[in-house]
Chain A
Amino acid sequence: MDKEKLKTGYYRSLLRNVVITILFTAMIPTVAVSVFILNEFQSSYQKKVYDHLELLARKHKKSIDMFLEEKLMDIRLLANANRFEELSNTAMLNQKFVELQRAFERTFVDIGVVDHEGRQIAYAGPYDLFGAKYSDTDWFKGAMTNPYFISDVFKGLRGAPHFIITVRHKHQGKPWILRATIDFGEFNNLVEYLRIGESGFAFILNKNGDFQTKPVSDVDPDRLIKLIKIDNALDRPNTIFRQKNHEGKEVLYATTSLKNGEWIMVLQQNIDDAFGEFKNTQKIAFLIILAGTLGIIATALILSQRLIRRISLADEEKQTADEEKEMMSQQVIETGKLASIGELASGIAHEINNPVAIMIEEAGWIEDLMEEEEFKQSENLEEIDRALKQINTQGKRCKEITHKLLSFARKTDSRIAEISINDLLEEIVYLSSQRAKYGNTEIRTQLEENLPPVFASETEMQQVFMNMINNAIDAMEKTGGIITLTSKRVGDNILVTVADNGPGIADANLSRIFDPFYTTKPVGKGTGLGLSICYGIVKKIGGDIQVHSVKGEGTTFEIQIPQNTEAEVPEEKR
């Protein structure tokens, strides 16, 4: 019972430990590597995205700057190439304008000349702006104070978004401006059709957050400008930062300054969009890790269970093997004990012989002395005579006992010789008589006369019958009983039966009693080897042992010994 409990408790904790160890050992590197790689991947992906945006920004900045430069160049050329008088002539201006338009298509909406007071003194274009006053406008101020000037986008007098490029010259000491309107549309196109990813786009703001390109609805320019200012992006030509937009979505912004920092081009892209691929990869990676983890857990559990089961089986086997080994060594010890007892017995027998011999001699001497005349008259003569004879008899009896003991204790002598079964049986009965008396057992014999001799080892056959009788005596220890030995001739064999009226043997055990180490005796009382050896001995000479038993009634062993088994006699001994 205890073994079972111990088994489950012990093995359960063993299993738990193994599983945990495996999980730790497998998971930690897996997770560590995955995390590391994912991190690296994320940072390099981010770098890629940022770089890409930055590149785009730079590219477009270049093209826009170039655009503006070009336009400015054209106007400058125009201003440099012609004199104030020519340009301020409307008809001339118109001519120039047409030329310009022819060369550059729709880029220039109109051109005009504005004097130092802010009055447009010449105009060529679709609008009726001759004589328009610009003195209060921002751009005029800027135009007057700078040799070249590009204005912000504004609606102005015409009501449509546009911006102006001006060139300032002097005429007769007074400044005058050649002014050109740039088509907003074309400018806008430079930026509006910019597409980044799936949701990314670009626009241009001025420092105050005013759209310079077509306003985009889901951009809060004020907030954005604030963010840009916070990031000090205004001071740097290119920046990238990520922030939540006014809707709470995370957005990636790339800013780049235009027009010498007066304008800011913003490229923006939703983080989801920008990192979409990465997020996908991340998801897949997680799935893989999850699947892997589940796999590891499953494997750990299953493998460990199998392992623990194997271990418990092996432990069991080992325990069984140990027990068997224990039993075996016990057998060996017992056999050794038997052997040394045998030696002891023969030593004692030899020792006893001497005093017994002396006793007999002395008795004989007394007998001799009794022959003297003086003793012949003694009244107790008869009695003395009887007593002396008794001493002699008993002495002879001692001799016989020691002889029998010595012959039994002799080392196993397997020499096959001609033996008389009946003599053997009688000797054994004699030897067992003392033991039987103590065990309340009577031994009866019914031996058929004139049985032919058999060829067998005397000591071995002694062992066989001795063993059976001892077993019967042991079985009937508590209740006593009768053991009946019979011998008779049956065909070519001699049949010896050892029958007792003891408790009998249960059917379940009956089939196993000849198995080695099988015993129902308590530990230490029997080795279980007896009957298996007997079986072997009888079989060796070509005989057979059978057992019949009825529980409560008794047991009978039938030993069949073939006569004259010449074939079994070993070659060397004859």
Chain B
Amino acid sequence: MLDTLRQTFTDNWIAWAYQYGLGGIFFWVTLAIGIRSGALHLRSRRDRRVAAALVIGLFLFAGGHALWITAVQGPPGARPQAEIEQITLRAAPIGRGR
């Protein structure tokens, strides 16, 4: 396990999975504790909106980051970041501006 962890990871999907996997567990557990404690009354429309905003926000961040990674390096396993780092710039210098 530790040997595996000592490897160098550069793939953005691993970071994404860690962020929303471990972070997600933290999120859902604390949300459940909050609801069970009565901090949110799900009978109340106002509190339901808060709960919905929290869940939607999580999916917005996770979905946004996933789309972004897909746009840059493709779906998981398609093109590791180490390879992306080797890309040579295609753009030619375009002048000096002001």
Co-assembled chains A and B = no
* A-binding residues in B (CB < 8 A): none
* B-binding residues in A (CB < 8 A): none
